[in-house]
Structure formats: structure tokens, C-alpha cells
Structure 1
Amino acid sequence: MKIKSVTATWLHVPIPKEKQHVSDFGPTLSFDSTLVRIETESGLVGWGESKAAVGSSGTNHALVVCIEKEMAPLLIGQDARDISRLWDVMYNGTRAHFAIDRGHVFPVLGRRGLTVSAIAGIDMALWDILGKSLNAPVWRLLGGRRREKMPAYASGGWAPVDRIGAELQSFIDRGNFKAVKMRVGSGDGELSHSVARVHAARKALGPDIDIMCDAHGTYTVVEAKRFCRQVADCNIAWFEEPVTADDKRGQAEVRASTDIPISAGESEFTRFDFRDLIELRAVDILQPDLSIAGGITEAMRIEALASAHQLRFAPHLWGGALTFASGLHVAAVASTGFILEYSLGANPMLHELAVEKFPVIDGWVDIPDRPGLGVTIDEDFVARHRKT
């Protein structure tokens, strides 16, 4: 079970013009991700996914180099099953021996950003290998699933006020979803436009569909407070990333001003960021992106924080099939996990990278019992979209 090779591939998939949406990130011209492949000397192969940007598009050259030139030399020859120790080796670098011996971290520098994203994809691949070696799904190794299926919400919602209701209803109809998320914030221009879109969505969907609102961290504290006050009668299920992740105290101020649950986490790295959010009382729902925040190992630590503080856990799953599968496995075993994000934008990484599909039936996603992450990579897809 010793690691033979660690390789990374930037996958760049152009989105046809008729399927592109426009948000505060700009037009979605492509979907980009970094595919991590780890092979053991025994021939077992595990797959993981890292992201250089939290949205759909992003330049991944530096992330590929980080995985292959920085991380791979630390891993070659190591036992692939020693996942927790290898996480510490990657996070602490040359001082890993101190960290492991003394039981606390000694990171050299890369406490955030591409370094942790690189760790995330590698960590996923190691869990995939472990599951395959034992012929067991990852959720079994993490303690066992709490249910055989989980509810999902449709994630999208970019249309203007006169079309937002129809757009969200079309998402709901694709899987009989009972919840849907729409985008608000700077992409709307004026705050009043966001408010009008939310009211239009509620009017179109009626009282029985949960509506989440995601500002992508683009409001100021004052704007976020005003938004909460002006949509108070719309029964919002949660308000996501109301302000920038760099202003955690500001987010705490927003949370204190409203009874709308505040969710955040897709822009955070490791348990330490989530600890800070919790200590500041800035969040109700933790949303780590497993391909950014440190992989499955770190997500389990983050979920433990949610459980200890009686918060909820709903991973950010706007990514490819491996990000979705990893979040699905963790959410399935999490005592605080309650819902899954399901991308309804143009997302070839979710729907075409893997041979297997993750269908939504009557608003629910089955928790598969295939070994490892349960994902078989379509090698032809990889060959077509490899970016050099």
C-alpha cells in the first residue's frame, strides 16, 4: 500500500454560450478543476479533486505544480492508509515531525489557499484508496451512514426579477426538489433589486418551498442587515455568505441582527477558520468545500465543531463528481448533516467526469454503497479536457 505516484491534471471544460450564466463572478465561460490521481505500488488508484477558485472557473496551473512538486515528494513511498499522519505531513512540511510528536501544528507557511486545496484533493484520493482496499464505501470507514438517502436543494438562481420564479421552478421540476438556492448581492447592482427578486421568487414558488439566498460575500454589513430586514417576511431558509470572509466580526454583527440563519464556509480553510467563525458567533450552518478546506479528514474535524456547538453542517458541493461524492460521504455520517447542494448550473464536472450519476428523485439523493468514493473516472472525458 505504499504510494507509487501522485499526479495532477487541470481539467478545463468550456461552457456553450447558451448554457452560460452570469453572476458577480462574471459570465461562466468554463468549468475548471484539478483532478488528483494517486497510485499505490499494489496497483490501487484513488482519485480526488482540488480547486483553485471557489466558483466554476479558475486558473489551475499553480495548483497542479503545488500537488506534483511540493506535495508528491512528501508522499512517495509512504503508506497510503496513514491518512491522518500524511495530512499533518503535508500541512506542516519540514516541521511535520515536531507536529506529530507534540500533537499540535507547526505549519511552515501554507495555512490557507492553494496549499490546503492541494492537501484536500490528495486527502480525498487517499480515502478513496482506503475504501477500495477494504471493499467498503468511505462512509462506512467514517462510522457508517445515518440514513440511506439525503434531501438535496437545487442550487442556481441568477435570473432577473421577471424571470427568477420561472427559473427556480424549472430547477425544482428537474428533481422534485423541496428547496432551492438563488444568488443575490453585487451582481444585482442595487440592493433593492436583490430584495425584489427574493419577493418575486417567494410569490412564484409559494410557502412550501424553502428558499436560500447566497450573496457570495458581496454585501457590506449595512447592506446585509438591510437585506435581512427587507426580506424578513419571505421566510428565508438561510442567508449564505452575507459579507466577505475577511470580515468575520461583521458577519457576527449581521447574524445578531436577524433571525434568518446565517451560513458560510465555502471560502474558509481548515478547522481553524471554522473555529473562529463559531467563537465569534457568526454562523448557524457550516459549509466547508471539501476540495478547498482540506478534504475528508478536515471536514470530519469541522463537523465535530458543528456538533459540539449544536450548529448544522451542509457542505458546499459546487464542484465535480469527486467533490460531490466526498461531501456526500461526510454529510451521510455527520450528526449535524441535513441537506446536500445540487448544482443546477451548467456543470460537466458533476455530470460527465464520472461514469456513475447522482440522480435526484423526489428531492432525495441515495447514499451509494460502492467501494471508496464510488466514482469511476471517465478517462475519455479527462483526455478531451486536459489543460496543458
Structure 2
Amino acid sequence: MRIKEVKAWWVRIPIETARQHRSDFGQVRTFDAAILRITTDDGIVGWGEGKNAAGSAGNYGALVHMINHEIGPMLVGRDPRDIMPIWEMQYNGTRAESAADQGHAMPQIARRGMSVAAISAVDIALWDIFGKSAGQPVWRLLGGRKKEAMPAYASGGWASVDEIGEQLTSYLKAGGFTGVKMRVGAMDGPPHISAARVRAAREAIGPDVDLMVDAHGTYTVADAKRFIQLVSDQNLAWFEEPVIADDKTGMAEVRAAGNVPIAAGESEATRFAFRDLAVLRSADIFQPDPAFCGGISEAMRIGTIASAFNLRFAPHLWAGAPCFFAGLHVCAASPASFVIEYSLGANPMIHDLVEEKVEVKDGMIAIPDRPGLGFTISERFLEAHAQG
């Protein structure tokens, strides 16, 4: 079996005005991603996804060009089941052969950002192919699943102090969730405004629902510490991305300043960044995004680091179907995982891009048991929203 064709598209799906929201990323009017299809010479198709932009919007022209004109030609003719060698080949670039011989990484200079986003898309698609060729779900190839279904939390929460309680309560009713996440930080201005929204949220949902907050890395260390003090009595399940990912020592300072678990990682790429988070004691919960961190392969390695440091693992899954399903399989196989992110904002990249119905029932989401990643892309829908 050999790779015959590699094709990526920038898929941009408009979000209807009534379902749009505003956060620190601005008004979110579209859902964008790089969607990848890899086809083998015996007709097996694998689907992947790469992300290089904030939130769900952004420009994917450069990433798609990189996949189609730089990465793709290197993959044609290779056995798609050589997933790890292909990952290292892309990461190490022209020194891939030397790195393989010497037994350690020798990455190219452009080893982060868009490069790893491209690697992520390829890796997810290759695992999809591997599962389909073996007639097994990907979680089986990763070592097995620990549960047939996993708890999910509702992710959203942009409403004002007067409306946040009603918004989060509607989430709880939507899928029987027992946990919700809301956004705080720069979208509100000073920390006391976010704190007031958190208090209103807690009052509305009650003391027994897990409440998480996400600042998208928009606080300074001082403001993040102030926010923790202001909400210290609200029993937060975690405080996500309090400061920018580049300030890991600052994040460790925030973590040490309060009693709220710190979650981070959606802005990080590769196991090396998560190693630093662990060593610096910057986070309690790792949140790699499979479409940005390096794919399924790297997400599993990151999960191993979490397990080794007795940390927890809850991937960032505000994404399209290939990334979301990849996260389901990784969580099913990782000993450190405990919960699934399920977006309650408008997400046509999951719900409209695939033929299957993706839903949460009684707060749980089923782990797919079909070969590969377990979804069917609506190619008609994809083509209707592909750019260029």
C-alpha cells in the first residue's frame, strides 16, 4: 500500500448571524480549517485537519499551499503505515536521515507553528488510513480504549454578567452536561468584571456543576493572580491559559499563587513544549490540540508525559471533525485523560462536514468503534465551502 494523492483545502464555513459570538478574537463569523485528504493506491482515504489560526476563524491559504506543494510531494509513494518515520521526516527536514541514524531530533529551523500544523494534518490522516486498512478503530491501534463513552463538558460562555447564567444553564440542559466552561480575560477588561461574570455563573448553575474558565492567554501575570484571588471561593475546576504560552515561568507563578488548577496547551506544539510545562510545574492539566500539536502521534506522547508527572490530560477540541474524532480516540487510549471538550458555539465544521450525528447524551459522548477515525466526510459540503 502506497500513498497516491495528497490534497488539502482551506474550508471556510459561514456562521449564521444569530449564532455568532464575540470574544477576545473579535466577532466570529466563519469556521475555518485546513482539511486534508490522503488517498492510497488501493483506494483507502484518510482525512486530517491542520490549524494555524486563533479561535475558529483565520487564513489557511499558506498552510494549504505548504501541504499541497511542499509536504504532499514528499509523501507520495510512501507506505502510509510508516506513521512515526513520516512524522520524524517532516519534523527534521533535510536532516531526517541523520536524526534517524543518531537517534535524536535534529529539527529544521521552522520547527513550530505552520510546520507542525501541516505535520498534524498528515498524521491524523495516516492514522485514519491505518485503522481502515486494518479494519480497526484507531483507539485499538493505540493500545485499546479504557471506556466505551467518556464524560464531556460544554464549552462556550461569552455572555454578559446579566446573561451568562442563562447561557450556561441552557448548555447543561442541551446534553445533560455536568460541567461547563466560560470565557474570561481581555474580552471583559479588568479582572473584576470577569470575576463578576463567574460569580453570576456559579449562582445560576449551583455548587455541584464543574465550572471552568478560559482566558485564552490574555491576562498578565499580575492580573491572572488578581483574578484568582477574586474567585477563590467559586470552586473552579480549572483556569485555562491564564497568560500567554510563551511565559511558562509566569504561568507557574500564577499556579503557585492560588488554589485553582491550571490548564494549558492549546497553543503549544510538540512534546518538547509540554515537557517544559511539566518540569516548570506550570500546569495541572495538559490540553494539546491534535490539529496543531503534532497530530495523534504527538498527542499520545504528550499524554504519556502527563501520566509520568501525575498530571491530567484534556485535549483542546474546539475544531473540525477530523481533529475532534482524533481527540476522541486519543482520550480513549490515554491513561491520563478524563473529559472531552464539546463546543456549544456554532460548529458547522463538526456537525455539517460529516454524515454522522455528533452529540452528547446524559453528559457522555461515545467513542467510535468503526475502522479508522469513524466518520464520513460529506465531500459535497466540503467542496461547497472550499476556498480557491
TM-score range for the pair, normalised by the shorter chain length: over 0.9
- C-alpha distance after superposition, 1:152-182 (max 9, x if no partner): 0000000000000000011111101000000
Aligned counterpart, 2:255 = 255
**Counterpart mapping for 1:1-388 below 5 A:** 1-388=1-388
Contact 1:13 1:30 (C-alpha < 8 Å) held by counterparts? yes
The 1-side partners of 2:299 and 2:17 are apart by 35
The 2-side partners of 1:357 and 1:116 are apart by 30
Deviation of the 1:54 alpha carbon:
3.5
Percent identity (aligned): 59
Deviation of the 1:110 alpha carbon:
2.1
The 2-side partners of 1:158 and 1:54 are apart by 16
Question: What is the letter of the counterpart of residue 154 of structure 1?
Answer: A
The 2-side partners of 1:103 and 1:352 are apart by 43
The 1-side partners of 2:256 and 2:193 are apart by 24
- C-alpha distance after superposition, 1:269-318 (max 9, x if no partner): 00011011111100000000000000000011101100100000000000
The 1-side partners of 2:222 and 2:291 are apart by 31
Contact 1:168 1:180 (C-alpha < 8 Å) held by counterparts? yes
Question: What is the letter of the counterpart of residue 177 of structure 1?
Answer: F
Question: What is the letter of the counterpart of residue 352 of structure 1?
Answer: D
The 2-side partners of 1:110 and 1:55 are apart by 23
Question: TM-score, with normalisation over the residues of structure 2?
Answer: 0.99
The 2-side partners of 1:150 and 1:239 are apart by 22
The 1-side partners of 2:325 and 2:368 are apart by 9
Deviation of the 1:70 alpha carbon:
1.6
The 2-side partners of 1:372 and 1:359 are apart by 19
Contact 1:54 1:266 (C-alpha < 8 Å) held by counterparts? no
Contact 1:178 1:210 (C-alpha < 8 Å) held by counterparts? yes
How many residue pairs match? The answer is 388
The 2-side partners of 1:357 and 1:53 are apart by 26
- C-alpha distance after superposition, 1:177-217 (max 9, x if no partner): 00000000000022111000000000011001100000000
Contact 1:74 1:89 (C-alpha < 8 Å) held by counterparts? no
The 2-side partners of 1:234 and 1:350 are apart by 32
Contact 1:19 1:346 (C-alpha < 8 Å) held by counterparts? yes
Q: Residue 360 of structure 1 aligns to a residue in which SS?
A: coil
Deviation of the 1:358 alpha carbon:
2.2
The 2-side partners of 1:49 and 1:375 are apart by 13
Contact 1:238 1:260 (C-alpha < 8 Å) held by counterparts? yes
Deviation of the 1:357 alpha carbon:
2.1
The 2-side partners of 1:349 and 1:324 are apart by 10
Q: Residue 365 of structure 1 aligns to a residue in which SS?
A: strand
- Say which is worse superposed, 177-186 or 376-385, in terms of deviation: 376-385
Contact 1:156 1:343 (C-alpha < 8 Å) held by counterparts? yes
CA RMSD of aligned residues (A): 0.7
The 2-side partners of 1:355 and 1:382 are apart by 11
Contact 2:25 2:54 (C-alpha < 8 Å) held by counterparts? no
The 2-side partners of 1:360 and 1:64 are apart by 32
Contact 1:10 1:32 (C-alpha < 8 Å) held by counterparts? yes
Question: What is the letter of the counterpart of residue 237 of structure 1?
Answer: A
- Say which is worse superposed, 68-77 or 230-239, in terms of deviation: 68-77
- C-alpha distance after superposition, 1:36-56 (max 9, x if no partner): 110111111100011121411
Q: Residue 48 of structure 2 aligns to a residue in which SS?
A: strand
Q: Residue 361 of structure 1 aligns to a residue in which SS?
A: coil
Q: Residue 387 of structure 1 aligns to a residue in which SS?
A: coil
Structure 1 residue runs of 5 or longer lacking an equivalent are none
Q: Residue 233 of structure 2 aligns to a residue in which SS?
A: helix
The 1-side partners of 2:74 and 2:95 are apart by 12
Question: What is the letter of the counterpart of residue 293 of structure 2?
Answer: A
Question: TM-score, with normalisation over the residues of structure 1?
Answer: 0.99
Structure 2 residue runs of 5 or longer lacking an equivalent are none
The 2-side partners of 1:315 and 1:180 are apart by 15
